[in-house]
Amino acid sequence: MEKPIIGITTGDLNGVGLELIIKIFSDNRMLDLCTPVIFASNKAINFYRKLVPTDHQFNFASTKSFEGLNPKQVNVFNCWEEEVAIAPGELTAEGGKYAVRSLLVAAQCLKDGQIDAIVTAPIHKKNTQVPDFNYTGHTPFFKEKFEAKDVVMLLYNGDFRVGLVTEHIPVADVAKTLTTDLIIRKTQILKEALIKDFGIAKPKIAFLGLNPHAGDDGLIGTEEQTVIKPAIDSLQNSGLLAFGPYSADGFFAHHHYKQFDAVIAMYHDQGLIPFKSLNNGEGVNYTCGLPVVRTSPDHGTAFDIAGKNLASPDSMREAIYQAIDILKQRASYDTYTANPLQRQRLAKER
């Protein structure tokens, strides 16, 4: 496919988002892979360009339309013109307000087909609760924006993939929220993504239990027997390679995740704590189930190191790589499944 146009949001203006973007695109080789469009303002970019020293010069072209994008340079799509107080490391109303502004403009451009995919820098939930953004994070926002029936938050690094049944809800509500139908629905979305977006023809998926020791046959909770196992049985009967439920601690401690294409965790920390502990800092957050491609780094705003030139760009850079790769994989899948004759020809060429 042609070089894709990748939209990139600022995230919280006082977080590490713009700092990472400048570090990444100071390497001009990135422009061989995509045409980047940063949804920000010239003033915000210049603030961090002066603050963050890089090995190479960071240049950009300013634009207010998509008719004059420069494919050989970083493009900054100006979402606001006014002066904004930037205070790296501080949680402020302005930091959240303009993070939302960047996101809303970028998401609409994605919906209008002006960009091919979107990579979102981290936001903070506390200062983004405004009338235009009443969401607990990016994932539910994109679900509603693109009218998806449901989505799955997937964290991955290489072949290590962890999907979540429940996301940003209190732990006290997890058991009440879990149902057999919910697990089946989330798994089917993940399965579809593994096939179309990651090129895995026959995914093998492991399921974690909810309780310690996966319930110990009902001694420490019954959700494994009454909710999770029936979901696994139903998925197996539909032809999916589904296994479990496994005790989460032993499953990760003994690296059993390496035997599967993906792992389904019942709640946020059950999946994300081991994932972030075991991956090498290049994890990516991907929203499965959308008609568009959205990725992000697997970390937050990192206020404690923002503006200090300490933040690693590895996860953000990998999120950009993955957005490009998933676009190509989707195009390849569409071509391969377009008609039987084309499929046969491609199979012979392989």
- For 275-284, the pLDDT digits (tens) are 999 987 889 9
- pLDDT: which is higher, 33 or 50: 33
Measured CA to CA, the distance from residue 260 to residue 170 in angstroms comes to 28
C-alpha distances out from residue 70 to 52, 62, 81, 100, Å: 24, 10, 21, 25
- Give the integer Cα–Cα distance in Å for 166 and 148: 16
- The confidence score (pLDDT) of residue 341 equals 61
Distance CA 337, CA 349 (A): 15
User: How is residue 309 written in tokens?
Assistant: 């030139």
Q: Which residue has the higher pLDDT, 16 or 134?
A: 16
Strand partners, 286: 154, 295
CB 95 within 8 A of CB 123: no
Q: Which residue has the tokens 């032809």?
A: 239
Rounded distance between C-alpha atoms, residue 20 and residue 39, angstroms: 14
Q: What pLDDT, on a 0 to 100 scale, did the predictor assign at position 330?
A: 94
pLDDT at site 147: 95
Please name the residues in contact with 228: beta carbons below 8 A apart, sequence gap of 6 or more. Answer: 178, 180, 183, 207, 209, 210, 244, 245, 266
pLDDT at 349: 57
- Residue 101 CA to its chain's centroid (Å): 19
Q: Dihedral sign, CA of 31, 65, 284, 327?
A: negative
- Per-residue model confidence as pLDDT tens digits over 218-258: 898 999 999 999 999 999 999 999 999 999 999 999 999 99
Stretch (H or E) spanning 95: helix 93-111
Confidence at 215, pLDDT banded by 50, 70, 90: confident
Which residues lie closer than 8 Å to 5 by C-beta, 6 or more apart? 34, 35, 36, 37, 66, 69, 114, 115, 116
Residue 85, Cβ density class (10 Å: 0-12 exposed, 13-18 middle, ≥19 buried): exposed
Long-range contact pairs involving 131-139 (C-beta distance under 8 Å, separation at least 24): 132/100, 132/104, 133/100, 133/103, 133/104, 136/167, 136/168, 137/167, 137/168, 138/103, 138/287, 138/294, 138/296, 139/167, 139/168, 139/287
Nearest CA to 15 among 134, 106, 120?
120
What is the reported pTM? 0.91
Q: What is the mean pLDDT of the chain?
A: 92
Give the residue from 155, 198, 168, 196 showing the smallest Cα distance to 291. 196
Task: Please give the share of the chain, as a percent, with pLDDT higher than 70.
Answer: 95
pLDDT at 338 over 90: no
Cβ-proximal residues to 78 (8 Å cutoff; 6+ apart), any chain: 40, 41, 42, 62, 63, 64
HSE at residue 283, side-chain half, CA atoms within 13 A, is 23
340-349 vs 314-336: helix axis angle to the nearest 10? 120
Domains present along the chain, CATH in parentheses: 1-148+290-350 (3.40.718.10), 153-280 (3.40.718.10)
204 forms beta bridges with: 241
Helices 42-51, 17-25: inter-axial angle, 10-degree rounding: 80
Give the pLDDT band of residue 131 (cuts 50, 70, 90).
Answer: confident
Quote the pLDDT of residue 64: 84
Cβ distance 237 to 200 under 8 Å?
Answer: no
Question: Band of the pLDDT at 347, cuts 50, 70, 90?
Answer: low
Kindly report, residue by residue over 286-310, the tens digit of the pLDDT: 999 999 999 999 999 999 999 998 9
Contact assessment for residue 20 and residue 54, using Cβ atoms and an 8 Å cutoff = no
Alpha-carbon distance 119 to 20, whole Å? Answer: 12
